[in-house]
Amino acid sequence: MATRRTAVAIVGAGPTGLTAAARLAALGVDHVVLDARAEPTATSNAALVHASALELLAELAAADELVAAGNVVRRIVLADDRGPFARIGLTDVDSTYPFALGVPQSTTERILLARLGELGGAVRRSHRVETLRPAPGGHLIEGTADGGPFTVHARYVIGADGAHSAIRAAAGLTFPGEQYPDQFVLADVALTAPPAADDEAAVTMSPDGVTVVGRLPGGTHRIIATVAGNVPPAPDRSFVDNLLERRGLAARTAADPLWSSRFRVQHRVADRFRAGDVFLAGDAAHVHSPAAGQGMNTGIADGFDLATRLAAVVGGADPALLDGYETDRRAAAAEVLRFTDRMTRAALLRNPVARRVRRVMAGTLTRVPPVRDTITMWVTGLRRSPLHQA
C-alpha cells in the first residue's frame, strides 16, 4: 500500500473542509481531502448563509452562483404571542452582500465542491480516518477505504470532521460544554399564511417553545422549533400543524414536508484548536445553538482563515503565523457561543414577567443605533470575519 504524501490533509468534506480545500487549491497548495461518506450532504441542514460567509465564498469565486440559487433574507423579526416586538436588519452593513441567504446546505456544498473541482481538487470519498499519529516530518493518517486500508502522510492536518471528530480525539483535545434540554424539530415544507414576508425570517417565542420560519428557494419554508416533549424521528404534517397552532401561528402546512428531522443541540468549544501541526475547524472545534444560523458560517470562516495561513507557511512564511488561527478563531467561536446561548435562553423564557421584560427590553434596545449595529455585526459575522481583521 503506497503512502500518499501531501502538505495538508483535510479530514472531512463538509462546508468547513470544502472551504479549506478550495482555498488551498486556489493558492496552489498540495492537499488531500478525505471523507468517510460516499456522497455529499443531500439535505438542507444549515440553511442560512450570512454576509460574512458570502464575502469569503466570493474570494473563492463561489458566491454569485450561491446567491442566484438562494432566497435573500433582509431582516429577522422577533415576535411573541402578542405579535412582533423587534426587528434585526441585515441590510445596513458595509458589505457587497447586505443580506443573508436562505439556501440548503446541500446547495452550498455542491457549489463549493464544483469550485474545488475547477481548481483541480477533489474529495476522496468513502475514506474513513481511524488513526492519526506523529511521524517524521508530519503526521501519519490511517484508515479504511472501500474495505481496504489507506495511509496519508501530511505535514499539516485539518480536522474538519464534525462534532464527533476523530481527529480531535486522536490529538487529545477535549470538548467541554453541555446539551440544551429541549429537542429541535426541523421541517422543510410549503406553508399557507407564513408568519413573515419572503425576505424575512420570523422568530416566534411562545410559552410552548420557539419557532423559526424562513423561506427557502423553490417556495418551501424552513421551520426550526424547540420542543420540550417527545418528537418523532421524522415529524409529519399533522405534528407540524399542531405545533404551529399551539404557538398561535396562523401558518399551516400546504403539503407533506419535503424533509423533516429532529436533533439535540449542544454548546461546546474545544479547549484548544491546535495540537502542534494538527488543527480543528468547524463543528470539530465548536458547536452551538442554531439561533441566528451561525454553525456553518463560523466553520466556513475557520476553513478559509486556516487555509490562508497554511498556504503562507507552506510557501515559506514564518510558522508563527499559524498561532493567530487559534487566537482569532477560538475568540470568534467563543463570541458565537456566548450570543447564541444568550439568544436561546432568552427565547426559551417561560415566566410571564420575564417574557414581558424581554419584549420591552428587546423592542427598545434594537432601536438604539449602537446596540442595533452591534447585534447586526454579531448576527452577520462581519466583525469576526478573517477579511475584516487587521
Ligand X SMILES: Cc1cc2nc3c(=O)[nH]c(=O)nc-3n(C[C@H](O)[C@H](O)[C@H](O)COP(=O)(O)OP(=O)(O)OC[C@H]3O[C@@H](n4cnc5c(N)ncnc54)[C@H](O)[C@@H]3O)c2cc1C
Binding flag, residue 290, ligand X (CB under 6 A): yes
3-state DSSP call for residue 141? Answer: strand
Nearer to ligand X, 152 or 314 (CB): 152
Q: Rounded to the nearest whole angstrom, what is the least distance from the CB of residue 387 to ligand X in the complex?
A: 19
Rounded CA-CA distance 214/202 in Å is: 6
Cα-to-chain-centroid distance, residue 215: 18
Binding flag, residue 104, ligand X (CB under 6 A): no
Binding flag, residue 186, ligand X (CB under 6 A): yes
Rounded CA-CA distance 215/376 in Å is: 20
Window contacting ligand X (CB under 6 A); options: 23-31, 246-254, 271-279, 293-301 = 293-301
CA dihedral 242, 244, 245, 251 (to 10 degrees): -120
Q: Rounded to the nearest whole angstrom, what is the least distance from the CB of residue 291 to ligand X in the complex?
A: 9
For cell 460567509, what's the residue? 53
User: Residues 13, 32, 205, 223: which binds ligand X (CB under 6 A)?
Assistant: 13
Rounded CA-CA distance 173/199 in Å is: 41
Binding flag, residue 47, ligand X (CB under 6 A): yes
User: Residues 228, 263, 315, 350: which binds ligand X (CB under 6 A)?
Assistant: 263
End-to-end CA distance of the chain: 45
User: Residues 4, 5, 74, 128: which binds ligand X (CB under 6 A)?
Assistant: 128
Q: Which grid cell is 238?
A: 399533522
Residues in the chain: 390
Binding flag, residue 159, ligand X (CB under 6 A): no
Rounded CA-CA distance 281/299 in Å is: 6
Q: Rounded to the nearest whole angstrom, what is the least distance from the CB of residue 66 to ligand X in the complex?
A: 15
Rounded CA-CA distance 326/323 in Å is: 6
User: Residues 209, 214, 299, 386: which binds ligand X (CB under 6 A)?
Assistant: 299
Query: By rule CB under 6 A, what count of residues binds ligand X?
Result: 34
Give the residues lining the site for ligand X (CB under 6 A): 11-17, 34-37, 45-48, 105, 128-129, 160-162, 166, 186, 224, 261, 263, 282-283, 290, 293-296, 299
